[in-house]
Amino acid sequence: SAVISQKPSRDICQRGTSLTIQCQVDSQVTMMFWYRQQPGQSLTLIATANQGSEATYESGFVIDKFPISRPNLTFSTLTVSNMSPEDSSIYLCSGTGQLKETQYFGPGTRLLVL
Amino acid sequence: ILNVEQSPQSLHVQEGDSTNFTCSFPSSNFYALHWYRWETAKSPEALFVMTLNGDEKKKGRISATLNTKEGYSYLYIKGSQPEDSATYLCAFNTGTASKLTFGTGTRLQVTL
């Protein structure tokens, strides 16, 4: 299994600012992902964080809004740029070894944008 | 667009009651079905990964079944305890690079 930590655990931000969320895994994982859960909605995949190259974004998400880095196999960051109140969500990172294996999640970052 | 549906949306039971939830998913391009338990301010906890039609898995008082032909999975909790209170999520994997599509979850509250 993998233990995943995230920083910060929560934040309150002003609109127009940016926040970078860090995700650290205690062991090497093949794949890392970023999800968000808006109020009342399901967990939705934002992007796959690729080591040493540009992330792969899902439909509706773009790099300019959600730049992602993954410099090595155990660390990734997600930046929420030029925030608006609609970005208020829980942001989670996850990691997995191989296909069909358990995907482990961090505890989430609770973001409120005023 | 993949659609994963869970029912009921919320459930309130008494301690000792047994309960079950449903997860419906597309039956085509099935690869795996995941169940998670998510308590507030904690990481979603992986319960089961199920891949074969007819799979049945058990972890303590919690068990799950899988029907890939008709596209549903059931999660059962026997003798509910207050510590079982959480949101239970199912997630569907088509095999495309491990990406998961989640349902909106079933929020369970167990009271004494």
- Condensed to tens digits (0 to 9), the pLDDT of residues A4-29 reads 999 999 999 999 999 999 999 988 88
- Bridge-based pairing of strands A31-37 and A44-49 is antiparallel
The yes-or-no verdict on residue B104 having pLDDT over 80 is yes
Place of tokens 């008709």: B70
Beta-carbon separation of B99 and A105 below 8 A = no
- Condensed to tens digits (0 to 9), the pLDDT of residues B34-54 reads 999 999 889 999 999 999 999
Beta-carbon separation of B43 and A43 below 8 A = no
Using CA atoms, how far residue B72 sits from A11, B54, B75, B94, B99, in Å, is 38, 11, 10, 14, 19
Q: Which residues of A touch B4 (CB under 8 A)?
A: 42
Instruction: Find which of B99, B106, B107 to mutate to test the A interface (most A CBs within 10 Å of its CB).
Output: B99
Rounded-to-10 torsion of CA B82, B87, B88, B91: -160
pLDDT band at B77 (very low <50, low <70, confident <90, very high): very high
Closest Cα in chain B to A3: B43
Query: Which stretch of DSSP H or E encloses residue B62?
Result: strand B62-67
pLDDT band at B97 (very low <50, low <70, confident <90, very high): low
Q: What is the pLDDT of residue B96?
A: 62
